[in-house]
Structures are given as C-alpha cells and as structure tokens.
Amino acid sequence: MRVEIKSAEQWSTFEKARQDCVVTSSLYAYLTGTKWARPDWAVMVWEGEEMVSNVHIIERIAKVGGTSVKLGGIGNIATKVEWRQRGYASAALKVAQDFLLDHLSVDFGLMIATEERIPHYVKVGWRVVAHTMMIGQPDGRVALNIPVMILPVCKQEWPKGTIDLCGLPW
C-alpha cells in the first residue's frame, strides 16, 4: 500500500481518471443532483498501479452563526467496492487529518456523513454538530439535510448557529 497526498494542480490525467472510478462508490453517488466543490488536494491510496481509495480535502472560510471559521473540508472518503474492509479509507483519513493540522492550520475539519458511518468517525475524533447546513448551488443557497461532523483542530469551541459553507459542499 502506498499513500500520498497531492494538490489538484499536481494530478496527472491518470490520477484524475482513477479518482473518478473511486468517486462512483462514495456519498457523491447517492446525493445525485447536488453540485460539489472541486477538491484542493487528494489523499490517494494505491495498491500497485490501482488507486483503491481516496479522500478529498477542500480549504474554505465559512460562517457559523456569523462567525468566520477556517475549515478543512473532508469529502469523498471512498474505497472501491472490491477493496473495502482492508483499512484503506482509514489510512487515507488519518493522513488527511494530519494534513489539516500540520499543513493547513485550519480551525476545524468538517465533513458530512451518513448515519451508519457516524460511529466510525466518532472513534477517530469527529463529532456531530448539526443535521443541516446551508450550501451554495447553481440556483442559490439551499439547505443540505445530512449529519455535519467536525474535527476540532484548534483550541477554540465550535461557534453556535447556522452553518453556511459559503459555497459548494464537499
């Protein structure tokens, strides 16, 4: 297993194509009709020449109850179906979490999750802070009704109030 992180500008055509194959098995495939933000970075997990898992990272200033927060968005935590249950996504998420702290110096990590995945993410430090947030879409701002989780990276408390991603979700 090889794990690497690259900025979107560094991705080869081959890496872009491989990520598209992994994306089909992620939450993105279930929330059809939603326009998603392009990632700034990707953690890619390889077995030989095959990308088996990835995690996307997006850096964003968002608003929570009127307070600006610097977020490290975690999205597209996905492993190809035939490679699941081998720890690939967990390894990629650990690298992504370290990147939020060591490289991006964000206030919080933020991700959305399905109800069945929440216990897994809670075990590695994430917590649910809301079940809806405002997101940008081509037709304007809309509510996305799905559990929202944060990873406290800084020493501050999560602000109270409505979460507005100030752009497309991840």
Q: In sequence order, what are the residues at sequence separation of 6 or more whose Cβ sits closer than 8 angstroms to the Cβ of residue 124?
A: 90, 93, 94, 97
Alpha carbon 150 to its chain's center? 10
CA neighbours within 13 Å on the CB side: how many for 110? 28
Query: 23 near 78, Cβ under 8 Å?
Result: yes
Q: Domains of the chain, with CATH numbers? A: 2-164 (3.40.630.30)
Q: What was the pLDDT predicted at 89?
A: 93
CA neighbours within 13 Å on the CB side: how many for 93? 21
Q: What is the reported pTM? A: 0.90
| Whether pLDDT at 145 is above 70 | yes
Query: 27 near 112, Cβ under 8 Å?
Result: yes
- Top-ranked range on mean pLDDT: pick from 9-23, 127-141, 147-161: 127-141
What is the pLDDT confidence band of residue 21, given thresholds at 50, 70 and 90? low
| Whether pLDDT at 154 is above 70 | yes
Q: Which of 71, 80, 79, 140 is nearest to 112 (CA)?
A: 71
What is the pLDDT confidence band of residue 59, given thresholds at 50, 70 and 90? very high
